[in-house]
Amino acid sequence: MNSVSPTSASASLPVKIAGLGHYLPERRVTSAELEETLGLRPGSVFRTTGVCERRRASRGETNSRMAAAAARQALASADRKVGEVDLILGASASPEQMIPCTAALVQRELDGPEGRSACFDVNATCLSFAVALQVAGSLIASGAYRTILVFSSEVTGESLNPNEPESAALIGDAAAAAVLTRSDEKEASRIHLARFATYSESSHLTQLLGGGALHHPNSPHTTPDMNQFRMHGPAIFRIASRLLPPFVESFLDTVGWTKSSIDLVIPHQASGHALRHLAPRLGFSSDQVFLNLPQRGNCVAASLPLALSEAWEAGHIQRGSRVLLLGTGAGLTLGAVALTY
Amino acid sequence: MNSVSPTSASASLPVKIAGLGHYLPERRVTSAELEETLGLRPGSVFRTTGVCERRRASRGETNSRMAAAAARQALASADRKVGEVDLILGASASPEQMIPCTAALVQRELDGPEGRSACFDVNATCLSFAVALQVAGSLIASGAYRTILVFSSEVTGESLNPNEPESAALIGDAAAAAVLTRSDEKEASRIHLARFATYSESSHLTQLLGGGALHHPNSPHTTPDMNQFRMHGPAIFRIASRLLPPFVESFLDTVGWTKSSIDLVIPHQASGHALRHLAPRLGFSSDQVFLNLPQRGNCVAASLPLALSEAWEAGHIQRGSRVLLLGTGAGLTLGAVALTY
C-alpha cells in the first residue's frame, strides 16, 4: 500500500500569518573556515553542500533567547503584544532542555503574563514548523485559541559530527517565528491544506540516536557519536526524488492550484543538490523557488519559517500571495502546506 | 495579570475516544525493594510518595515497543486496523531518541503502511496526552484527519536521581494509547473543552536540564545529575493548590457542568499528597476521583491515558459518561479536558 492521501478533501482554514520574524546568531562561519577546521580541500564544502556560510549560536544565544528575539519581531509585525498570545507553540527538532518544553521557556523569556498563554511543543524534525501551521490552523479554526505564536529555534553545534562533514558543514543555526490569527471575512488569507506522509522504513536514514531513553546521556553504553546527527544524504535524495513528485501532484490537485499559479515555493533548504534538482523535477520554474541555503545553510526546523520570513521581508510575498511550503524531514516524512498569505 | 481563560467560549468538538489500551512493563519494583536499594527506612517510600509498587521497563521494552503494544490494544478496542490510521501522534515527556520523532518509530513498530499516516510528537511533559486530545480533536473537527492514534510511552529509569528519592521512588514506567475518530451525529461522545495555562515563573520547579542544546550530552560541562529529573514537590503543591481551584471553577463554568454531574475525575497521578488533598480542595467527592498511583506510580505523560484506560477497563466509564481529565505539568502548566466518553 502506498497511498499518499490520508484525507482526500479538506476544508481550507480561515487562518492567516499575521506576522513573521527571525533571529540570526551573530557568528558567521564561512565554508573556507570550516574547510580549515575539518581538514577539507578548499572549495569542497560549497561543492558538497551548496553552503557558503552559516551562522552558529554562541554561548548566551540559547534556543529560548533566539526564539524570543524572533517572536518579538513577529509580534511587532503582527501589531500584537505578548499579552494577547493564547498559545506559544514550539516547533523545533530539539529542545533547549528535556523538561519543561521549550515553549514554556520562551514564555518566560518574553516575560509573557503568568497563566495567560498555554505552552507546548510539536516535533516533526525538519517539518516541525509546517506541522505547527497545521496544528495552529486547526486550533484557531475550532475556536480553541485566537492568537498563536509559533517558533522554531535551532542550536546545533554539539550535535554535529565533524567526521560527517556533508551534514556538519550543511547545517546552520537560526530562529524564526510567526503569529497566527483568524482571517477576517473580507481577507483572502487562508491555510488551504497541509498534508504529511511518513515512510518509517527510511527512519534510519536520518537519526540522532541519543538524547532519549534508548541511549540515555548517563548510560555507559552511549558513545559521543550517538549524540550527533547522522544523515544518509544520497539515499534520502533517491527516495525523496521518487516519492515527492506524486505527493506534490496529488496535493496540488486537492488544493486546486496549478503549478504556474503559485507565487512562491518555499522548500525546506535540505541541501544544494536537492534544491538544484527540485524545481525541474517537480515542474516549477527556478524563479518560483526561494533559496537562502548559500547564506544560511540547512537550519533544520527553523529552515522553513526563516525562508518564509526572509522572503516576506524581501518583498517576494505580499497579502494575497499563493505560497507553497514543501519539504522532507526525518521519519522519513514528506510534507506540504498551501496558504494564501 | 492572572487571567486563566485564554478563550472564554469554545465550541465542543464532535470527536470521540473510539478505543483505549495500555501496556505495563513486566518488572514490578516494590517500595520495600526501593527502600533497600536507596538506603531508606522501611515504610518511608509509601509515606512520602503514596506508591506501593511501580513498573520499570527492562531492556527491550523501548518507548516505541511499549507504545505499539498499547496501540494494538487501543486499535482492537476501536475495531480499527493500523492501515486506517491517518495520524500517529506521540505524546510523551521524553523521546526514544532525539531524531526522528517517536511517532515515526511507532509507525515502524506497528508495521503501519508506508506513507499512509503522518507522524509527529507533541510535548507538554505530564500534560502531553491532554494536549494531544485537544490537538487531535481540532485536527479531526477541521477535517485534516479522520482517525488519529495518540500514545504516551515513558521509560524513565536512567532519568531518575537516586539522591532525590521523593521523585525517583514516585515515578513509574508505562505506555497507553487512544484511537480518536469523529462522532456520529446520533452519538453523545464529544470533547467539550480543553484548556491549558502556563506559569513559567515556576518553570524551574520541575526540570530535566540535559538532553538538549543547553547542556548537551557531549559537553564536558554537563554533569550526570543534569540528565536527571528534578522536582520541588512541596513548592509545586503550594502553587498548584492556589491556582487549581479558580482554574477548575472557570473551566467548568465554560463547559456548563456542575461538579456533581461529573461521572469520573481522572487526575494526573502527581503524588499521594497532591491526590489526597485534591478532591476536598476542588469540591469533588472521593468516589468521583480515579486513583491508580499506589500500584502504578506517577507515569509522567502516560499517567493520564493509563488511568483513563484502566478506568474504562474496570467499567468506571461507559459511553455517555462525563469525564474530567485534570492535572499539572512542568512549565508550570495547569490543564483540563472535559469529554463525554
DSSP labels for B271-293? Answer: -HHHHHHHHHHHT--GGGB---H
- Angle separating helix axes A233-255 and A272-282, nearest 10 degrees: 30
Please name the member of B2, B115, B334 whose beta carbon is closest to the beta carbon of A197: B115
Residue B128 has pLDDT above 80, yes or no: yes
Q: Using alpha carbons only, how large is chain A's radius of gyration in Å? A: 19
Residue B226 has pLDDT above 50, yes or no: yes
CATH of domain A1-341: 3.40.47.10
Q: How confident is the model over B240-250, as a mean pLDDT?
A: 96
**Residue B10: its pLDDT value, please?**
54
CB contact under 8 A, A124 and B101: yes
> Residue B58 has what DSSP assignment?
P
Per-residue 3-state assignment (H helix, E strand, C coil) for chain A = CCCCCCCCCCCCECEEEEEEEEECCCCEEEHHHHHHHHCCCCCHHHHHHCCCEEECCCCCCCHHHHHHHHHHHHHHHHCCCHHHCCEEEECCCCCCCCECCHHHHHHHHCCCCCCCCEEEEEEECECHHHHHHHHHHHHHHCCCCCCEEEEEEECCHHHCCCCCHHHHCCECCEEEEEEEEECCCCCCCEEEEEEEEECHHHHHHEEECCCCCCCCCCCCCCCHHHHCCEECHHHHHHHHHHHHHHHHHHHHHHHCCCHHHCCEEEECCCCHHHHHHHHHHHCCCHHHECCCHHHHCECHHHHHHHHHHHHHHCCCCCCCCEEEEEEEECCCEEEEEEEEC
Residues of A labelled as active-site residues? 126, 268, 298
**Residue A10: its pLDDT value, please?**
53
A268 CB neighbour count, 10 Å cutoff:
26
Residue B9 has pLDDT above 90, yes or no: no
Cβ-Cβ contacts under 8 Å, A162 against chain B = none
What is the least distance, in Å, from the CA of B219 to any CA of chain A?
7
Dihedral angle at the C-alpha atoms of A307, A313, A317, A323, nearest 10 degrees?
20
Beta carbon pairs, A and B, within 8 Å: 343
Residue B127 has pLDDT above 90, yes or no: yes
Please name the member of A104, A208, A243 whose beta carbon is closest to the beta carbon of B198: A104
Burial of residue A79 (CB within 10 Å: 0-12, 13-18, 19+) is exposed
For residues B7 and A145, the answer to whether their CB atoms sit within 8 Å is yes
Please name the member of B117, B120, B143 whose beta carbon is closest to the beta carbon of A124: B120
**Residue A98: its pLDDT value, please?**
96
Residue B21 has pLDDT above 90, yes or no: yes
For residues B197 and A47, the answer to whether their CB atoms sit within 8 Å is no
Is B304 in a helix, a strand, or coil?
helix
Listed in sequence order, the residues at least 6 apart from A10 whose beta carbon sits closer than 8 Å to its beta carbon are: A193, A254, B142, B143, B144
**Closest residue in A to B65 (Cα–Cα):** A214
Cβ-Cβ contacts under 8 Å, B115 against chain A = 2-4, 197-199, 243, 334
Q: How far apart are CA A44 and CA A36, in angstroms?
A: 11
**Closest residue in A to B147 (Cα–Cα):** A6
CB contact under 8 A, A145 and B101: no
Per-residue pLDDT tens digits for B56-75: 999 999 999 999 999 999 99
Report residue B278's pLDDT band, with 50, 70 and 90 as the boundaries.
confident
Please name the member of A2, A118, A159 whose beta carbon is closest to the beta carbon of B6: A118
**Residue A3: its pLDDT value, please?**
38
What is the least distance, in Å, from the CA of A84 to any CA of chain B?
9
Task: Assess whether B63 carries a catalytic annotation.
Answer: no
**Closest residue in B to A112 (Cα–Cα):** B200
- What ipTM was assigned to the predicted interfaces of this complex? 0.96
CB contact under 8 A, B99 and A158: no
Q: How far apart are CA B201 and CA B332, in angstroms?
A: 8
Listed in sequence order, the residues at least 6 apart from A158 whose beta carbon sits closer than 8 Å to its beta carbon are: A227, A228, B213, B216, B218, B219
Whole-number average pLDDT of chain B: 94
Q: How far apart are CA B312 and CA A294, in angstroms?
A: 55
Q: How far apart are CA B85 and CA B63, in angstroms?
A: 19
**Residue B29: its pLDDT value, please?**
97
Test mutation, A142, A209, A225, chain B, max B CBs within 10 A: A142
CB contact under 8 A, B243 and A86: no
**Each residue's pLDDT expressed in tens, for chain A with a length of 341 residues:** 333 344 434 569 999 999 999 999 999 999 999 999 989 999 999 999 999 999 999 999 999 999 999 999 999 999 999 999 999 999 999 899 999 999 999 999 999 999 999 999 999 999 999 999 999 999 999 999 999 999 999 999 999 999 998 899 999 999 999 999 999 989 999 999 999 999 999 999 999 999 999 999 999 999 999 999 999 988 999 999 999 999 999 999 999 999 999 999 999 999 998 899 888 899 999 999 999 999 999 999 999 999 999 999 999 999 999 999 999 999 999 999 999 99
**Residue B65: its pLDDT value, please?**
98
Find the catalytic residue in B101, B119, B126, B299: B126
**Residue B279: its pLDDT value, please?**
82
CB contact under 8 A, A114 and B4: no
What is the least distance, in Å, from the CA of B132 to any CA of chain A?
10
What is the least distance, in Å, from the CA of B28 to any CA of chain A?
19
Q: Dihedral sign, CA of A215, B151, A1, B144?
A: negative
Cβ-Cβ contacts under 8 Å, B159 against chain A = 98, 213, 216
Question: What are the Cα distances from residue A124, in Å, to A258, A333, B201?
Answer: 28, 8, 28
Cβ-Cβ contacts under 8 Å, A212 against chain B = 63, 94-98, 102, 211
C-alpha cell at A26: 551573530
CB contact under 8 A, B125 and A99: yes
Distance of CA B177 to the CA centre of its chain: 10
CB contact under 8 A, B113 and A1: yes
Cβ-Cβ contacts under 8 Å, B11 against chain A = 142-143
Cβ-Cβ contacts under 8 Å, B243 against chain A = 115
Q: How far apart are CA A125 and CA A231, in angstroms?
A: 13
Task: Assess whether B298 carries a catalytic annotation.
Answer: yes
CB contact under 8 A, B203 and A105: yes
Please name the member of B83, B99, B210 whose beta carbon is closest to the beta carbon of A229: B99
Please choose, from the candidates A47, A110, A107, A104, the residue with its C-alpha nearest in 3D space to the C-alpha of residue A73.
Answer: A110
Question: What are the Cα distances from residue B25, in Å, to B67, B128, B170?
Answer: 11, 20, 16
Cβ-Cβ contacts under 8 Å, A99 against chain B = 93-94, 125, 206-208, 229, 330
Please name the member of A123, A157, A199 whose beta carbon is closest to the beta carbon of B123: A123
**Closest residue in A to B146 (Cα–Cα):** A7
Test mutation, A3, A65, A88, A98, chain B, max B CBs within 10 A: A98
Cβ-Cβ contacts under 8 Å, A115 against chain B = 2-4, 197-199, 243, 334
CB contact under 8 A, B114 and A83: no
Cβ-Cβ contacts under 8 Å, A113 against chain B = 1-3
Test mutation, A66, A86, A87, A99, chain B, max B CBs within 10 A: A99
Cβ-Cβ contacts under 8 Å, B217 against chain A = 210-211, 217, 222, 224, 227
